Amino acid sequence: MRTRSGRMRAFGAAVAVLSFALPAAAAPKGAGWQVPTSVRKLPNGLTVVVSEDRSSPTFGLCVVYRIGFRLEPKGRTGFAHLFEHMMFQGTPNAPKGTYDRVIEGGGGINNGSTRYDYTNYIVSAPVSALDAILWLEADRMKMLDFSEKNLQNQKDVVKEEIRVNVKNRPYGLFFWTDVAGAAFTKWENAHDGYGSFADLDAASSADVKAFFESFYGPNNAVLAIVGDVAAEEAFAKVEKYFGSIPARATPPKPDVDEEPNSKERLVEQTDPLANVPAVAVGWKLPSRGTPDDVPVAVLADLLAGGEASRLYQGLVKGKELLLGIEGGVNWPLGDPWTYEGPTLLTLFGLYKPDTTAKAVVAAIDGEIAKVARGDVGVAELERTKTKMVSDLYAQLEMPMDRAVALSLAQLFTGDAASVNEIPRKLSAVTRADLARVASTYLAARNRTVVDRRPAPQKAEPPAEAGK
């Protein structure tokens, strides 16, 4: 599993908008750098985003489909992810193996990721391979090789993926699956996106075909190209390779939003593979698009974004309860700019043997209470925002990462250029905003805690029975 980035809003025009690297006023230090974005929608519904960048003779590409764990069929947990694997299993035109052979032989790399709200396919390569790679992406949007043999092969591979990341690993990603499972009520939000082996076994090539028909049409996708190509040239190439793919009917999206929880949820677990206890805490957040989105993101960084953060200084240093702390909005599968929602603000840490999860949660609560009272320094807030802007830029440096960010911004906000608005939105967040979102969302009643302790060591047989 990898985490990726994305962002937010700005221009509405669905045509070329250019801008570049201008220093700005006010706002956090360094704010003002912008990436160019041009957007066009093909008649078949495929939305195309281009960001020209001539700094290297390469390009990055992301094709994102609006389908993830959340909307996979009931009785088929893990199917969206298994399907992602099937996208690399060849087509009637390009048999299994062709895709990687052409991309790697062209000097490129590729990958795919499945998340709650999307599945994306990413490539980075020398620009000399752009046409060949666009052809391959269009080819697998048209039709796949729905072979039983390849499906069985990828079921085996996915099971090994689940073994290596969950079943054979201490903690087993509980801070993702188990926190979400306990915090959410609706099946769409609560079920395990990796899926059960029984459900994976039950998946058929008919399921693969139906899923492809429903969710993998051009009208359910955004394609972003970033790099050494002019916007008009890129649009023309996309039109050439993707223009003839017909739109496909996509099922309506059910209402997946949830109310905040009214009572704390506590889960205690033992972990036979772990040597050190761990705790994860999640607070439910609504679907994206409220005025609180950006303040909550700042709150998460203020609390746990790096070594200057409150919880690092308070609990890793200070009280010395934790070995470290990680987390954030939409963590660990993404960040504040890459979800549709609902999601969680999650924190995770290994704790010391001489303390308890309860003490850790109480100490976290103490820091949240201070923020909720408005006890946040002006300089503290400013440097938190500055670091967030700097981190955002880092996510836009590599063309492939920028393609991911722009395509997800387009998918979730309808505006790829909204990425350029994030620094301004960050700078507008006030202490009062933080106090409001801390008391609204990070209240104990809306909290889910999973305490995961090493299983007791199996007792050695006593040396002398009966002693």
Partner 1 sequence: MKKTSNLAAAVALLGAAALLAPAARAAEPAPLPKELPPYGADAPLPVPAIAKSTLPNGLTAWIVKRPGFPKVSAVLAVRGGTAADPAGMEGVAGLLAATMKEGTARRSSRRIAEELQAVGGDLSVAASADAFYLRGSALASGLPALLDLLADVARNPAFPPGEVDLAKENALQELEAQEATPEYLAARAFAKAVYGSHPYHVVSPTRETVGKVAPALLRAEHARRFRPDAALLVLAGDLDEAAAKAAVAKAFGGWAATGSPVPSTPPSPPARGREIFLVDRPGSVQSTVVAGRPGPDVSDPDWYDVLVANTIYADAFGSRLVRNIREEKGYTYSPSGDFATRRAGSLLEMRADVRNEVTAATLLEVFYELDRMAATTPTPDELAGAKRYQAGLYLLRNQVQEAVSGTLARNWVNGLPPESLGEFVTKVNAVTADGVRAAGRKHFLSSSQTVVVVGDAKEARAQLELFGKVVDVNP
**What residues numbered 216-245 form the site for partner 1, per CB under 8 A?**
228
Rounded least distance, CB 98 to partner 1, Å? 7
Asked if 85 interacts with partner 1 (CB under 8 A), we say yes
Interface residue with partner 1 among 74, 101, 253, 373 (CB under 8 A) is 101
Interface residue with partner 1 among 12, 18, 30, 257 (CB under 8 A) is 30
Amino acid at 7: R
Strands (E), 186-264: 221-227
Residues 406-465 that bind partner 1 (CB under 8 A): none
Rounded least distance, CB 386 to partner 1, Å? 5
Interface residue with partner 1 among 274, 296, 303, 311 (CB under 8 A) is 274
Rounded distance between C-alpha atoms, residue 32 and residue 268, angstroms: 47
Interface residue with partner 1 among 19, 41, 73, 126 (CB under 8 A) is 126
Rounded least distance, CB 147 to partner 1, Å? 13
Interface residue with partner 1 among 29, 74, 253, 445 (CB under 8 A) is 29
Asked if 253 interacts with partner 1 (CB under 8 A), we say no
Q: Judged by CB, which is closer to partner 1: 190, or 276?
A: 276
Strands (E), 232-361: 265-271, 278-285, 326-329, 343-350
Interface residue with partner 1 among 68, 108, 286, 342 (CB under 8 A) is 108
Count of C-beta atoms within a 10 Å radius of residue 432: 11
Interface residue with partner 1 among 370, 391, 431, 443 (CB under 8 A) is 391
Asked if 98 interacts with partner 1 (CB under 8 A), we say yes
State both tokens at 351.
Answer: 């704790």
Q: Judged by CB, which is closer to partner 1: 70, or 436?
A: 70
**224-261: b or e for each residue (b if 16 or more CB lie within 10 Å)?**
bbbbbbebeebbebbbebbeebeebebeeeeebebeeb
Count of C-beta atoms within a 10 Å radius of residue 192: 18
State both tokens at 276.
Answer: 């050190």
Rounded least distance, CB 466 to partner 1, Å? 27
Residue 435: CA count within 13 A, CB half-sphere: 10
Asked if 132 interacts with partner 1 (CB under 8 A), we say yes
Rounded distance between C-alpha atoms, residue 159 and residue 201, angstroms: 10
Asked if 201 interacts with partner 1 (CB under 8 A), we say no
Q: Would you say 25 and 385 are in contact if contact means Cβ atoms under 8 Å apart?
A: no
Residues 314-333 that bind partner 1 (CB under 8 A): 317, 320, 323
Q: Would you say 88 and 151 are in contact if contact means Cβ atoms under 8 Å apart?
A: no
Burial label for 206, CB within 10 Å (0-12, 13-18, 19+), is exposed
Interface residue with partner 1 among 73, 106, 181, 243 (CB under 8 A) is 106
| Alpha helices per DSSP H over 148-186 | 148-162, 174-183
Interface residue with partner 1 among 9, 81, 436, 447 (CB under 8 A) is 81
Rounded least distance, CB 154 to partner 1, Å? 7
Counted residue by residue, the chain has a size of 467
Q: Judged by CB, which is closer to partner 1: 237, or 436?
A: 237
State both tokens at 68.
Answer: 């993830």
Q: Would you say 351 and 315 are in contact if contact means Cβ atoms under 8 Å apart?
A: no
Query: Pattern of binders to partner 1 over 365-384, x per CB under 8 A?
Result: --------------x--xxx
Asked if 308 interacts with partner 1 (CB under 8 A), we say yes
Residues 6-25 that bind partner 1 (CB under 8 A): 21
Coil, strand or helix at 347: strand
Q: Judged by CB, which is closer to partner 1: 161, or 292?
A: 161
